[in-house]
Amino acid sequence: MTVSNNGTAGDPGRPDTRFKTFFSFLITFVLLFLSWLVLSGKFEPLLLWLGAISSFFVAYYFYDLLFPDLESNYAGISFRFICYVPWLIWEIIKANFHLLYLAFHPRMKDLIDPHIITFKTNLKSDIAITTLANSITLTPGTITVTATSDGVFKVHAIDRPSAEALPGTMLEKVAKVFGEQI
């Protein structure tokens, strides 16, 4: 087992580590309790206490599952990610209309031109690569076939215009969100 429970391995006494542990515990607890509130929908004191206690125990034992390596700029990344989502939804809507037009077009087979493109990015972290891969798949016209850990993407595109949009702006935005070089 490589998962260390703060007390057994590493430097348990360092205030930095302890702060991170407490912070990830706090975020996990808040997220769990919020989902308890939303899913239960009842605000009787007994149920609130039960939710708080069970969230506390789950967060206490599993705080390192949701946020395994909490960095100091987590808040910045989350904030920029939330700013990135509306742009992504707008792109999805635009591209969906394009795909809808293709689906209903009488001479569809002349319009589409499926092919696979490969491009290399300099993204390093797993979360950035995953975000870019899922964003590409969500944007209609393109599906990520493979994405490797050193940032090579293979993308199946349905026609030329949707392939030309890649990697382009989306890569820039994702790199900016996670503070990486392009």
Q: Indicate whether 163 belongs to the interface with other proteins (CB under 8 A).
A: no
Residue whose tokens read 């996990």 = 28
List the one residue from 4, 17, 54, 134 that touches other proteins (CB under 8 A).
134
Residue whose tokens read 């087979």 = 109
Residue 92 token pair: 């999805």
Long-range contacts of residues 71-74, Cβ cutoff 8 Å, at least 24 apart? 73/179
- Number of chain residues interacting with other proteins (CB under 8 A): 32
List the one residue from 41, 45, 68, 86 that touches other proteins (CB under 8 A).
41
Q: Indicate whether 46 belongs to the interface with other proteins (CB under 8 A).
A: no
Is beta strand 115-120 parallel, antiparallel or unpaired with respect to 142-147? unpaired
The stretch among 21-29, 54-62, 70-78, 142-150 that binds other proteins (CB under 8 A) is: 142-150
Residue 131 token pair: 């975000």
Sign (positive/negative) of CA torsion 86, 90, 95, 101?
positive
The CA distances from residue 62 to 38, 54, 56, 121, in Å, are: 21, 12, 10, 34
**Residue 138 one-letter amino acid:** L
| 124 vs 154, beta carbon nearer other proteins | 154
| 83 vs 100, beta carbon nearer other proteins | 100
The stretch among 20-28, 45-53, 55-63, 113-121 that binds other proteins (CB under 8 A) is: 113-121
| 77 vs 145, beta carbon nearer other proteins | 145
- Applying CB under 8 A, which residues contact other proteins? 38-39, 41, 43, 92-93, 96, 99-100, 102-104, 108-109, 112-116, 133-134, 137-141, 143-146, 156, 158
